[in-house]
Amino acid sequence: MRASIVGCSGYVGGELLRLLLQHPHVEVHQVTSERFAGKPVKQVHPNLRGSSDLKFVSAKDLEDVDLLFTALPHTNLMQRFDEFDARAGRIIDLSADFRLKDLEAYREWYDLDHPRPELLEEFVYGIVELHRDQMRSAHYISSAGCNATAAILSLHPLFANGVVDRERPVVAEAKCGSSEAGNKSSEASHHPERSGCVRSYKPIRHRHTAEMAQELGGHVNFSATSIEMVRGILMTAHVFVRDGVTERDIWRTYRSEYGTEPFVRIVKERTGLYRYPEPKILAGTNYCDIGFAMDGDRLVVMGAIDNLMKGAAGQAVHAMNVMCDFSETAGLSFTGLHPI
User: Which positions are annotated as active-site residues?
Assistant: 146
Residue from 126, 147, 283, 280 nearest 210 by CA: 147
Instruction: Please confirm whether the linkage preceding 262 is cis (ω < 30° from 0).
Output: no
Question: Three-state DSSP class for 124?
Answer: strand
> What is the C-alpha separation between 250 and 245, in angstroms, rounded?
8
Q: Which residues pair with 305 in a beta bridge?
A: 233
DSSP, collapsed to helix, strand or coil, labels residue 139 as coil
User: Which among 265, 259, 303, 311 has a CA at the least distance from the CA of 284?
Assistant: 311
Q: What is the largest CA-CA distance in the chain?
A: 63
The C-alpha atoms of residue 235 and residue 88 are separated, in whole angstroms, by 36
Computed from CA positions of residues 179, 182, 188, 193, in that sequence, does the dihedral angle turn out positive or negative? positive
235 and 154 Cβ atoms separated by less than 8 Å: yes
Q: Alpha helix locations (H) across 40-195? A: 41-44, 76-85, 103-110, 128-136, 146-160, 191-194
The Cα–Cα gap between 289 and 277 comes to 5
Residues 145, 316 contacting (CB under 8 angstroms): no
